[in-house]
Structure 1
Amino acid sequence: MKKLLSVVTAVAIGFVSVACSSTKDAVALVDGKPIAKQEFEENLKFNKWAMEQQYGDKVWEQVEKQNPDFQNSIKANVLNQMVQSRIVLNYAEKNNIKADEAQLKQFNDNLKKTLADKTKKASFDKDGLTEEALKKYGEQAAIMTAFSKYVAKKAEPTETELNEYYEKNKEKVDASHILLSTTDASGKPMTEEKKAEVKKKADELYSQLKNGADFAKLAKENSADPGSAQNGGSLGEFGKGKMVKEFEEVAFSLKEGEISKPVASQYGYHIIKVNKKVTSKYNDVKNELKSELTQTRTQELIKKIQESSTVEKYEDKIKDIKFVEVKKSTTTDDKSTTDSKSTDSKSTDSKSTDSKATEKKSEDK
C-alpha cells in the first residue's frame, strides 16, 4: 500500500486566480505575475477537503505518523502545483487559449447541484471553501483542458515526420533479463567492494546459463526486478528509447535466442536474453507511433514552456501556516498512564496530614 503522504502530495491541486492580484502579499512570482497568499490558503483548504472526503477526518493522524513534518511537505507541493498552474495560465493568455466552454458549463451545472445538497454544502462550509473559490477551480480546469488540446495539436507530427520516426523505431525486440542490483534499499550505490561481489555472482549465473540452465528459473530465483522476475524475467516487446542506453545497445545487437554477458547500468548488472526480433509494418503501427510521438513531443513542449518561465518563491511567507490541527486519539497506554497518575494522586491525598515541608518534598519527587 502506498504511504498516505505520497498519495496526498501526488494529488495536490494548485489552482490560481485567472486575474492577476497584488504582488504585496505574494507567495510566488511567475514571470512577474503573483500568486497571492490568500489563494495559497484556499488551495490548502481545497486539498484538505479533498483528502478528508476520500480518506476520512482522521487521515492526518496516519499522515503525521509517517512524517511529523508533513504540513511543510504538503505546503511545498501545493505551491509547486500553483506555480505550474500559473505558468500554464500565462502561456494560455499569451496564445489566446480560452477555457473549454463545454467543460466549464458542465462543471458549473454540477457545482450548482452540489451546493443545493445541504450535506455536501456543509462539508464545503466546514473547511471554509467558498463558491467563488470552487468556480475559480472549475474555470482553471477548463483552461487546462484547452491548453492540453492546444499543445497536443501543436505536437502532432506530419506524415513525413511519422515516416521518419517509423524508420528509426520499426525494429522491436522481445527480451528477458536477470537484474542483480548494485544499489541498496534506499537506492544509494553500493561500495565498490560490494559491487565486485555482485559482478562475481552475475558471472556465475551467466556461466550456468551457458551450460544450459533455465533462464526463467534463474530469473525467478535471482532477479532484483520485481516487475519481471515472477514472469521469468520477461520484459515483453519494446522499441528503441524505452530502456537505459547500456541495456538497449546490447539488446538490439543480440540475435534471437542469444544471451548476453553481464551488462552494467545505473541499476546493476543485467543478463539479457533476446527471445525474438520483430519488424512491424508501417500501417500496422501507424496510429500507435503517432500517439507515442505526439505524447513525447507534448512533454518536450511543456518542459520548454516551463524552462522559459522565471519563477521566484517566497517560502518564508508560508512556513507558519498550519492548515490542519491533528487530533490525537487517546490510546490504551495513555489511559493507563492517566489511571496510574490518578491512583498516585489519591495516595498522596491520603498522606495530606503531613506538614507543608513534607508536601514540598513530595512535590519535588
Structure 2
Amino acid sequence: MIKQYRTVFKFICIFLLLISHTFQSQQLALPKEVLAEVGTTKINTTDFVTRYSEYILASGIKDNIVTRRAILNNMINETLLRQYDDNKKIFDNPEYKKELKWAEKQTVLAFLKDRDIYAKMKVTEAELRDAFYKTNLKISARHLFAETEEEAKSLYQLLQTGQDFSTLAKQVFTDSTLRNNGGYLGFFSWGDMDPTFEDAAYSLKPGEISKPVKTQFGYSVIKVEERVPNPLLTETEFLKNKKHIERTVRMRKRGIAEAEFVSKYFNAGKVTVDEKILSKTLDNLSYSTADLVESAPKELTSGVLVRYQNRVYSQKDILQRINAIPFFHREKISSVKALEATIKGLVLQDILFGLAEKKGYTKSEEVLATIEKYNSNIFLKYKRAEVAEAKTFPESDVRKFYDDNPAYFKNEDQINIQEIIVSRKTFADTLLEKIKSGSDFGNLAFMYSKRSWSAKNKGVMGFADLSKFGGLKDTLSKSEVGNIIGPVKIQDMFGIFKVLGKKTGAIKKFDEVKNLAEKLLRKEKSKPIMEEYITGLRQKTIVKWDDNQLSLLTVN
C-alpha cells in the first residue's frame, strides 16, 4: 500500500504548495522538539521529518531548504485552516461525512489487498527471463473484434472454413482504418496491449490464429503475422533491467491474483436478486442529483431484495447503503444494470471488510495513520471549495472572463442524420450494399427500419446535440456530410447512419451563463483566493517557527 500512501502525501503537499507563500511570521528559537507554533498548537520536529521524508520519497525531489520551508509552511497553513477557522459547515456536511467513512473503508480494503494478495505474489526467475525475452520481441498481428463470446466463436468458425480477415474486418469494425486493412494492428511490444491479448498473441507462431480471447474490451480472434526478436540479448542487459521487469510482471499479475483471492470468498453468479424489487429500487434512491439533498423515500417494497449465502438484504438495507456512498460514485447508478453491479459490489465489500476486521487490519497503526491523512486530504478539498464559493467578483470581471473564454459558453454542436435500424447484421450488410449500389437511403429506412417514428420520416432524425448519440458521437463528429456509417451494433440491433447536416453551436448570451462564468472564474483564481484567505488567518493568529533548527535537521 506504499504507492497508495505516496499518492495521498503527494496530493496534499502539491495542493498546499499551490497556496504557499513566503513566511511572514516570527522567526524565533523554539524548544528542540518543536519546529513551529501556530497559536497554541505545536508542530513537532518528528511530525515534520515524517511528512517531509514521505514527500521527498514520493516526489523524487532532492532535500533542500526551500522545499523544507515550503512543507513546513504547508503544515502551518493546514493547522490554520483546520484549527483556527470556522469549519462547522464542513463538519456538518453529510457528504463530507460520507467521504470520510468511504475513505476509511477503502483504506482498510486496500491494506487487505496489500497484505493478503500483493505481498504474497511470487515472481520466479523463469518468469523474469520470459518477460525479458518478450520485451525484446516485436510482433505484428491482426484481429477481429466481437462484443460477445458467441459472435467471436462465429468469426473463428468462419476463418476456419476459409473466410479471410479482410472480408470479415469490413463487417465487424466501424473504425475505417481497421475496416480497410483487415484488422491489422502493426507491430507491438510486450506491455503495449491488453495483457490477455498479448499472452495469446505471444503464444502464436506466424500464420496461426487464436481461438476467441476475452479482453477488457470484449473478445478478439488474433492472427500473428510476424515475430521479430532482438538477436543480441545479453546477461548484463537482463540484470540491468531486472528490477523494472519484476515491477512490470507484478503489475500484470495483480488482476489475476485479485480474482483468485476474491473467488475464495465470493461468487457473483450466486448472488440472487429479486428483479421486481430491483426495478423499483432505482426509482427510490433517496437523493437528488441536483442539490444532493436527501428526500424521503417512496413507499418501500417488503421482502428480500438480495440474498447471498447467509447474507440477506432488504430494499431498505440497500437504499441505506447506497445513500452512504459519496455522491461522485452514487450519481453513476443510472440504470438497473448499474444498480445490480453496485449491489454485488457492496456484498463483496461487506465480505472482504469482515475478513479484514477478523485479521485486525482495522486497528493497524499503518491503516489508522493513512486514514488520518485521507481525512486531511478530504477536509482540504472541502475547505478549498468553501473558500472559493464565498468569493464574489464584480460583474465587470465576470463579463471579461466570459468575453475572453468563448469556448466555455458555446452551445453544443448539432448533427442531423438518417438511420436504418434492423435486428440482424446480415440484413444490415445487405442494405448497406444496396445503398452503395444506388438505392435510396430514405426509402430503405421507410420499408425496413425498426424504429417506427423515424421510419415514417424516412429515417431522418432531425438536428440534435452530438452528446445524445453516446458512443457514436466521436465518429459522427468526424464524418463529412453525406458519409455512410455502419453497420454499428446498438444493444441487440444494428444501425446504418447517413450524415445529412451539421450545425456549429452558437455562443450563449452572458445572462444565460453568468453563474457558470463566475464559477469558472473562481476556479481559475483559486490560488490567489486561497492565498488571500490564509493571509487573513495569519493576521489573526500568532505563528512562530525556528528557521535555523529547520535547516539543521537530519532527514533520512
TM-score by length of 2: 0.26
TM-score by length of 1: 0.37
